[in-house]
Amino acid sequence: HKYVYDFSEGNKELKDLLGGKGANLAEMTNLGLPVPPGFTITTEACQAYLATGREPDGLAGQIEAHLEALEREMGKRLGDPQDPLLVSVRSGAKFSMPGMMETVLNVGLNDQSVVGLSAQAGGNDRFAWDSYRRLIQMFGKTVCEVPGEEFEHALDEAKHAKGTHDDLDLDAADLRGLVDAYKKIFLKHTGREFPQQPREQLDLAIRAVFESWNAERAVLYRRQERIPADLGTAVNVVTMVFGNLGPDSGTGVAFTRDPASGAQGIYGDYLANAQGEDVVAGIRNTVPLQELEQLDKTSYDELLGIMARLEEHYKDLCDIEFTIERGKLWMLQTRVGKRTAAAAFVIAGQLVDEGLIDLDEALHRVNGAQLAQLMFPRFQLDHEFQPVAKGIGASPGAASGTVVFTSARAVELAAEGKSVILVRRETNPDDLNGMIAAKGILTSRGGKTSHAAVVARGMGKTCVSGADEIEVNVPAKRFTVAGQTVTEGDVVSIDGTTGKVYLGEVPVMPSEVVQYFEGSLDPEHIDNALVRAVHRIMTHADGKRRLAVRTNADTGADAARARRFGAEGIGLCRTEHMFLGDRRELVERLILARAPGEREAALAALLPLQRADFEEIFREMDGLPVTVRLIDPPLHEFLPPLEQLAVNVAVAQERGEDVAKEEALLAAVRRMHEENPMLGLRGVRLGLVIPGLFAMQVRAIAEAAVSCARGGGVAKPEIMVPLVGAVQELETVRAEAEKIIAEVVGDSGVEVLIGTMIEVPRAALTAGQIAEAAEFFSFGTNDLTQMGWGFSRDDVEGAFFWRYLELGIFGISPFESIDRDGVGRLVRIAAEEGRAARPGLKLGICGEHGGDPDSVHFFHEVGLDYVSCSPFRVPVARLEAGRAVV
Ligand code: ADP
Ligand code: MG
Ligand code: MG
């Protein structure tokens, strides 16, 4: 089995096997770019090592053979006392995991070869001893787990003794002394001398890189970024080149475009007389890359040429690491660079302009999560505001408010109309009310899957989690950060996208992308690269997609907004809110009615109110389909809560007041009490039990449609019956509804469809029968998930989902993203069997999943006709529906 690949043998497509770094080093080698020679040990070797605890058979021999070939090519032997070949041993997984795993530089140095290295460098003792002390430091820390601070402390002492703060002031003798000090530290912690055998150094370093895959921080990072745990890392063995040979040497990093804004230009940092890790570690101040032009014009020009070449080759923004050794440029790394959401759109647009990619490819390069990010308001940051802490951007948005430390206080202040930020070390299910009341949530512990993060995302609330610079003291109602104390009542601002925390109130700026969607920014006439790029890519997505996108909206205002955002109809108009407010009293009368006459009177009073609601919606959605769901929740939700009512009655009786009406109400509430209301008298069951209720709603819909048509509009109502589990339920409702519709519609030309939600698992499994009585299905994936898993949606997210996520039982809440294997399978079965029974059956989905990128792709695959989501998610769904096609 082949476990080792020379750089000349690989290419950029082999990331699974060679890791990102190795695949790209191979690609650059084969492009003829100046890459120091070397080889890559595959991720398969790492997987085998991690599975069995030892190197797989054959690996040692292959490493030997490649090392010999490398030695022949370089004309030097690893660690040779006269003229040593030195190598770096670098981790590199399929997905980049910045700073998570290990790299050891200068492998091959020992007490003899350090002398040879100096001689070869023209007697540059300083350089040789500097390289040696770096090896002991990195090797000790990463391979042998010697605490890094001990080395840093010794380095500080050496500088202190010399009266300087700058590494460069240490001369050869100082560094030689430091090597001795480092060796003592190494011996003290490992119980052995620093290994002098070059090959042993190499083998131990390779093994350490394998093992770094399972380092705690790497495991955590993978969980957060949802990177599979079993990929393993490759190991790259690379000939060393030296940026620390003197002022004509150095090292740097660069981007081919600005990864923040996408702007074209040269972005990078350079550090003269240094080795690579110095730049990242921020030990010394780098200079902007442009200054390299003065220092070394030849290398600078060559670098710019290579950067242009890389962009042309990868057809994307690249980031690179390079080193200059005495005026000779070497490329040490490149990859397609990470970027902000805004830069992703801008760069995709630019690359189309430059003819490097087409619009289909541009659509690949962006995603709905990025678009969603761009639709949140942002902080308007000027120099006045510096972040005091940085946590994890757990749930996007920009929120400012008064700091509170308890759920109770959050609820209190919110009731007074204040914006509050709930600050906790971590949250737990008891904090739920406070989280609902707060504008944002800030915790000092926990990652993207902590309780705070999961619940906040579910609520669409801004959250920064794990800001560990913050020291929270709940009993004292204060936190400290960066030497400052923040007490209850002070104002902070948190950015749930970047994870940054600011003291004071940072002004908030509306999203330009939202302004564009709302129609107040014209992309053709403004000089805004982002808006133009979004416009272009969205237009292309709309042209490509097969799925229609509708919205969930219950009011004319929501409908109008969603339409501006591109909604092509309403997929779910809930009618519940039409029973609230002033109308509660009518609903009470309906429920309390003793005689048919009383009930009919209550329904007759509700009818015109409902009709007016529908008229407004049909007007806003003129010409587009509107799916109206008949009332779904249990009726007692519209009555006062039992305890409160009981207390009121008791108090009133005490005072000797007449409580006949309240007592009747109380009795009704008692009668209707359910242990499990979500599985009780709701949806179609309600319609079958309360005479006239559905009939009134059907009549209101039909009359509104007719009145709309009479006014010259086009109403396309689709009546949706909720919670159907058996075709007989639907047939009963249908028979009554058809009579009313026929009577109301007459010859007005209005057409009313009747269909059902598929949200009870039994409905999905008997979809063939149900389709006989339904002109359309709309998957209610919230209830289908709730009933499919047996998870009470209102309870489980806060109660234990964090634990399920931590254990990896699922990677994301099934309420957030469709569970393809289980709930998704129900959708698939129902779609197939429904269509088989009734060709042309219209299929849609109206759960929260309609606006979730992954779920949109699934619904496309299953062949639904449309997805429906909240107005704000409509653009996201449009984009993802387009991406699902290309
Ligand atoms: P990371 O993945 O954390 O960036 P790298 O493997 O890229 O780690 O290495 C860390 C630093 O060491 C980088 O700055 C890199 O440029 C430098 N480096 C790695 N290999 C060599 C080498 N063969 N010669 C010189 N510098 C190197
Ligand atoms: Mg690197
Ligand atoms: Mg439902």
How close is the Cα of 198 to the center of ligand 1, in Å? Answer: 19
- Count of Cβ atoms closer than 10 Å to residue 580 Cβ: 11
Residue 570 CB–ligand 1 contact under 6 Å: no
pLDDT of 224: 67
Quickly name the fold that domain 376-509 has.
Answer: Glucose Oxidase; domain 1 (3.50.30)
Q: What is the 3-state secondary structure (H, E, C) of 185-244?
A: HHHHHHCCCCCCCHHHHHHHHHHHHHHHCCCHHHHHHHHHHCCCCCCCEEEEEEECCCCC
Q: Atom of ligand 1 at shortest distance to CA of 243?
A: 25
Task: Compute the C-alpha angle 299/305/309, nearest 5°.
Answer: 140
Beta carbons within 8 Å of 626's beta carbon, 6+ residues apart: 569, 570, 573, 617, 618, 715, 716, 717, 718
How close is the Cα of 316 to the center of ligand 1, in Å? Answer: 22
Going through 488-624 in order, the beta strands assigned E by DSSP cover 491-495, 500-503, 508-509, 548-552, 570-573
Alpha carbon nearest to ligand 1 atom 10, residue: 277
How many angstroms separate the CA atoms of 47 and 39, rounded? 18
pLDDT of 585: 85
Going through 685-807 in order, the beta strands assigned E by DSSP cover 716-721, 753-758, 776-779
Alpha carbon nearest to ligand 1 atom 19, residue: 88
How close is the Cα of 25 to the center of ligand 1, in Å? Answer: 12
Grade residue 69 by pLDDT with cuts at 50, 70 and 90.
very high
Residue 99 CB–ligand 1 contact under 6 Å: yes
How close is the Cα of 582 to the center of ligand 3, in Å? Answer: 25
Residue 731 has pLDDT above 90, yes or no: yes
The dihedral sign for the CA sequence 555, 561, 562, 563: positive
pLDDT in tens, 548-593: 999 999 889 889 999 999 999 999 999 987 888 788 888 888 888 8
Q: State the CATH architecture for 118-196.
A: Up-down Bundle (1.20)
Q: Which bound ligand lies closest to the C-alpha atom of 846?
A: 3
DSSP string, 543-556: HH--SEEEEE-SSH
- Specify the higher pLDDT residue, 284 or 767: 767
- Specify the higher pLDDT residue, 451 or 104: 104
Percent of the chain with pLDDT over 90: 74
How close is the Cα of 394 to the center of ligand 3, in Å? Answer: 28
How close is the Cα of 579 to the center of ligand 3, in Å? Answer: 17
Q: Which bound ligand lies closest to the C-alpha atom of 90?
A: 1
Task: Compute the C-alpha angle 84/72/37, nearest 5°.
Answer: 80
Residue 34 has pLDDT above 80, yes or no: yes
Beta carbons within 8 Å of 415's beta carbon, 6+ residues apart: 437
Residue 817 has pLDDT above 90, yes or no: yes
Alpha carbon nearest to ligand 1 atom 12, residue: 276
Average pLDDT over residues 797-802: 80
Two tokens at 304?
A: 């710019």
pLDDT in tens, 474-508: 999 999 998 999 999 999 999 998 899 999 999 98
Residue 105 CB–ligand 1 contact under 6 Å: yes
The CATH superfamily holding the domain 250-271+287-336 is: ATP-grasp fold, B domain (3.30.470.20)
Residue 323 CB–ligand 1 contact under 6 Å: yes
Mutate to test the pocket of ligand 1, among 100, 321, 331 (most ligand atoms within 8 A of CB): 321
How many angstroms separate the CA atoms of 136 and 128, rounded? 13
Average pLDDT over residues 308-336: 96
Strands 508-509 and 4-6: unpaired
How close is the Cα of 75 to the center of ligand 1, in Å? Answer: 23
Q: Note whether 770 and 727 are within 8 A (CB).
A: yes
Global pTM value: 0.84
Q: Supply the residues annotated as catalytic.
A: 451, 846
Q: Atom of ligand 1 at shortest distance to CA of 96?
A: 2
How many angstroms separate the CA atoms of 800 and 812, rounded? 13
Q: Atom of ligand 1 at shortest distance to CA of 241?
A: 24
Question: Which residues crowd ion ligand 2, with CB under 5 Å?
Answer: 321, 333
Q: Atom of ligand 1 at shortest distance to CA of 99?
A: 3
Alpha carbon nearest to ligand 1 atom 3, residue: 99
Mean pLDDT for all residues in the chain = 93
pLDDT of 216: 83
Residue 276 CB–ligand 1 contact under 6 Å: yes
pLDDT of 844: 98
| Per-domain residue ranges of the chain | 1-110+197-240, 118-196, 250-271+287-336, 376-509, 545-591+600-634+682-883, 635-673
**692 alpha-carbon distance from chain centroid:** 47
Phi, psi values for residue 165, rounded to 5°: -110, 0
DSSP state of 359: H
- 519 backbone φψ class: left, alpha, beta (φ>0; ψ -120 to 50): left
How many angstroms separate the CA atoms of 86 and 83, rounded? 9
Taking each continuous run of H as one helix and of E as one strand, the counts in the chain are: 37, 33
Quickly name the fold that domain 545-591+600-634+682-883 has.
Answer: TIM Barrel (3.20.20)
Residue 758 has pLDDT above 70, yes or no: yes
Residue 88 CB–ligand 1 contact under 6 Å: yes
- The SS3 assignment for 799 reads helix
Q: Note whether 551 and 617 are within 8 A (CB).
A: no
pLDDT of 282: 59
Residue 238 CB–ligand 1 contact under 6 Å: yes
Grade residue 264 by pLDDT with cuts at 50, 70 and 90.
confident
How many angstroms separate the CA atoms of 605 and 607, rounded? 6
Alpha carbon nearest to ligand 1 atom 23, residue: 240
How many angstroms separate the CA atoms of 2 and 10, rounded? 12
- Specify the higher pLDDT residue, 672 or 492: 492
Residue 138 CB–ligand 1 contact under 6 Å: no
Average pLDDT over residues 349-354: 96
Percent of the chain with pLDDT over 70: 99
How close is the Cα of 635 to the center of ligand 2, in Å? Answer: 62
How many angstroms separate the CA atoms of 446 and 799, rounded? 16
Q: Note whether 221 and 93 are within 8 A (CB).
A: no
- Count of Cβ atoms closer than 10 Å to residue 680 Cβ: 15
Beta carbons within 8 Å of 417's beta carbon, 6+ residues apart: none
pLDDT of 278: 76
- Count of Cβ atoms closer than 10 Å to residue 736 Cβ: 16
Mutate to test the pocket of ligand 1, among 94, 135, 333, 334 (most ligand atoms within 8 A of CB): 333
Q: Which bound ligand lies closest to the C-alpha atom of 88?
A: 1
Q: Which bound ligand lies closest to the C-alpha atom of 252?
A: 1
pLDDT of 458: 65
Average pLDDT over residues 3-19: 97
Among 161-170, 442-451, 641-650, name the one with the lowest average pLDDT. Answer: 442-451
The dihedral sign for the CA sequence 867, 873, 879, 883: negative
Alpha carbon nearest to ligand 1 atom 26, residue: 276
Q: Which long-range contacts (CB under 8 A, 24 or more apart) does 706-711 make?
A: 706/744, 706/745, 706/746, 706/748, 706/750, 707/611, 707/615, 708/615, 708/618, 708/619, 708/622, 709/748, 709/749, 709/750, 710/748
Q: Which bound ligand lies closest to the C-alpha atom of 845?
A: 3
pLDDT of 766: 98
Residue 277 CB–ligand 1 contact under 6 Å: yes
Two tokens at 213?
A: 């895959």
Quickly name the fold that domain 1-110+197-240 has.
Answer: Dna Ligase; domain 1 (3.30.1490)
pLDDT in tens, 87-128: 999 999 999 887 677 889 999 999 999 999 999 999 999 999
How many angstroms separate the CA atoms of 822 and 845, rounded? 16
Mutate to test the pocket of ligand 1, among 332, 334, 335, 338 (most ligand atoms within 8 A of CB): 332
Q: Which bound ligand lies closest to the C-alpha atom of 279?
A: 1
pLDDT in tens, 383-435: 778 999 999 888 888 999 999 999 999 999 999 999 999 999 988 877 888 99
How many angstroms separate the CA atoms of 618 and 705, rounded? 7
Average pLDDT over residues 231-240: 97
Distances (CA, A) of 363 to 535, 539, 589: 12, 10, 55
pLDDT of 451: 79
pLDDT of 223: 74
Two tokens at 367?
A: 């995603």
Question: Which residues crowd ion ligand 3, with CB under 5 Å?
Answer: 759, 780, 783
Average pLDDT over residues 323-327: 96
Interior/surface letters 711-725, b for 16+ CB within 10 angstroms, e for the rest? eeeebbbbbbbbbbb
Phi, psi values for residue 522, rounded to 5°: -95, 115
Alpha carbon nearest to ligand 1 atom 14, residue: 276
257: nearest Cα among 296, 225, 289: 289
Q: What is the chain's Cα-based Rg?
A: 33
Grade residue 446 by pLDDT with cuts at 50, 70 and 90.
confident
How many angstroms separate the CA atoms of 709 and 731, rounded? 28
Q: Atom of ligand 1 at shortest distance to CA of 280?
A: 14
- Specify the higher pLDDT residue, 449 or 514: 514
How close is the Cα of 723 to the center of ligand 3, in Å? Answer: 6
pLDDT of 229: 87
Residue 725 CB–ligand 1 contact under 6 Å: no
6: nearest Cα among 46, 48, 63, 87: 63
How many angstroms separate the CA atoms of 5 and 408, rounded? 61
Q: Atom of ligand 1 at shortest distance to CA of 236?
A: 6
Residue 90 CB–ligand 1 contact under 6 Å: yes
The dihedral sign for the CA sequence 3, 6, 7, 12: negative
Q: Note whether 867 and 877 are within 8 A (CB).
A: yes
Tell me the ipTM for this assembly: 0.94
